[in-house]
Amino acid sequence: MSTCLTHTEEYIKTFYLKLGISTPQQLQFQTITRRLGITSFYWQEPSQALFTGKRSIILLNENLSPQQQWQEFCHELTHVLLHTGRQTKLPKLFVEYQEYKADHFMYHAAIPTFMLDQLLIYNFDIITVYNVQELFNVEYDFALKRLHQYVNTKNNMLKWNSQSDSIKLGRRIS
């Protein structure tokens, strides 16, 4: 299916393809950290990203399920790839903005649009959600939210494109 990607979706597609990742089975944080030269560790505390000099470190809470660790890895990866600054020294609103952006990025990095496009998904019924959950190794609610985003975006694009075509043709849209 040909699709118009958002900036985030295009960034993630380009990022993964440069790393040689093109299928859900290749989406593993160990592969990503190795190919990027990021150090990762398990620990007892909440997951976080740290920067020491030119090195990036992602710490994942060892008590989380593999699905939760993958989801949190995608959140922390955002900080490594796109953010700078020590959050303890940044204004509160800017930290909130970074966290919002990291959450948004997390959904798209864990379940990339370009991979969903290959599956030809048109709804988010229980079987589809379960299949996406299993394929991308995420929690059910995470898969459900991502599929809502995906299907709603596709539907909005279809509406926008049909309205755009009507405007070009000079037809009135009611």
Query: Is 121:150 a contact under the CB 8 Å cutoff?
Result: yes
3-state class (DSSP) for residue 41? strand
Q: Is residue 174 part of a domain?
A: no
E strand intervals along 36-173: 39-43, 48-52, 55-61
Judge whether 143 lies within some domain: yes
Beta strands in the chain (DSSP E): 39-43, 48-52, 55-61
Give the torsion sign (CA, 137, 51, 39, 47).
negative
1 lies in some domain: no
* Residue 2 belongs to some domain of the structure: no
pLDDT per position in the chain (174 positions), as tens?
446 888 999 999 999 999 999 999 999 999 999 999 999 999 999 999 888 878 899 999 999 999 999 999 999 999 899 866 566 677 788 778 888 999 999 999 999 999 999 998 877 789 999 999 999 999 999 999 999 999 888 877 666 666 554 445 555 454
How far apart CA 130 and CA 127 sit, in angstroms, is 5
Task: Pull the structure tokens for residue 6.
Answer: 């958002």
Number of structural domains the chain divides into: 1
Which residues span the domain enclosing 108? 7-169
Residue 39 lies in a domain: yes
- What would you measure as the largest C-alpha separation in the chain, in angstroms? 62
